[in-house]
């Protein structure tokens, strides 16, 4: 565990000492804010749910984010209880408001990859690739601003993709099992 902490610490301090600049700081803060409370992904999902033609995709995105939220915020964060890096790494400065919850895994990375992976797999590349790029930027911004360890972000990415894969598998099965309900949802 000490080796992981040293690895994580060295990367975060390297980012702080070599990549942070007055020019890039506001850009990375803005990118990280896009993922706050999953708002950008929730807005995208709501837009998909409103349009009848994309409603099924919206349901899959919503399911993937709910799965990710349950696994990350209700189970793993409380079980792992990992302290935020700015509290443990001497010299590391967090440049966004401090978080009140635990660090592992990154909720921003989980939520971003949960929705973006669905979009990447289920939409044309002109939509899926930008969604995936945005998810990766949001995830990496968490390192830049000093609020997460690299392994937090990696864990969130893995959980997000797994949540998306599970949702893409689960939703069609629920549609088959409850056709009357899903017909009503998709035809509203």
Q: What is the pLDDT of residue 11?
A: 96
Could you give the number of structural domains in the chain?
A: 1
Q: End-to-end CA distance of the chain, in Å? A: 52
Domain range for 98: 27-64+77-187
Over 90: is that where the pLDDT of 65 sits? yes
Which range among 3-7, 139-143, 166-170 shows the weakest confidence by mean pLDDT?
3-7
Contacts of 8 (CB under 8 A, 6+ apart): 85, 149, 150, 151
* In-domain check, residue 121: yes
pLDDT digits (tens, 9 = 90+) for 16-59: 999 999 999 999 999 999 999 999 999 999 999 999 899 999 99
* In-domain check, residue 124: yes
* In-domain check, residue 173: yes
* In-domain check, residue 105: yes
Q: What is the pLDDT of residue 183?
A: 63
* In-domain check, residue 12: no
């Amino acid at each position: 565990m000490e080796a992981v902490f040293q690895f994580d610490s060295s990367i975060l301090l390297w980012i702080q000492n070599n990549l942070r600049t007055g020019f890039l700081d506001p850009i990375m803060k803005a990118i990280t804010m896009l993922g706050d409370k999953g708002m950008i992904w929730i807005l995208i999902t709501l837009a998909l749910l409103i349009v009848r033609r994309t409603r099924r995709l919206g349901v899959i995105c919503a399911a993937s984010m709910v799965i990710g939220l349950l696994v990350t915020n209700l189970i793993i964060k409380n079980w792992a209880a990992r302290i935020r890096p700015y509290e443990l790494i001497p010299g590391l400065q967090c440049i966004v408001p401090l978080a009140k919850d635990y660090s592992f895994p990154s909720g921003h990375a989980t939520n971003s990859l949960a929705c973006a992976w669905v979009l990447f797999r289920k939409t044309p590349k002109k939509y899926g690739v930008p969604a995936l790029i945005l998810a990766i930027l949001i995830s990496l911004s968490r390192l830049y601003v000093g609020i997460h360890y690299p392994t937090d972000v990696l864990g969130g990415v893995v959980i997000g993709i797994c949540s998306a894969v599970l949702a893409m598998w689960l939703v069609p099965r629920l549609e088959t099992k409850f056709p009357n309900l899903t017909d009503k949802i998709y035809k509203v």
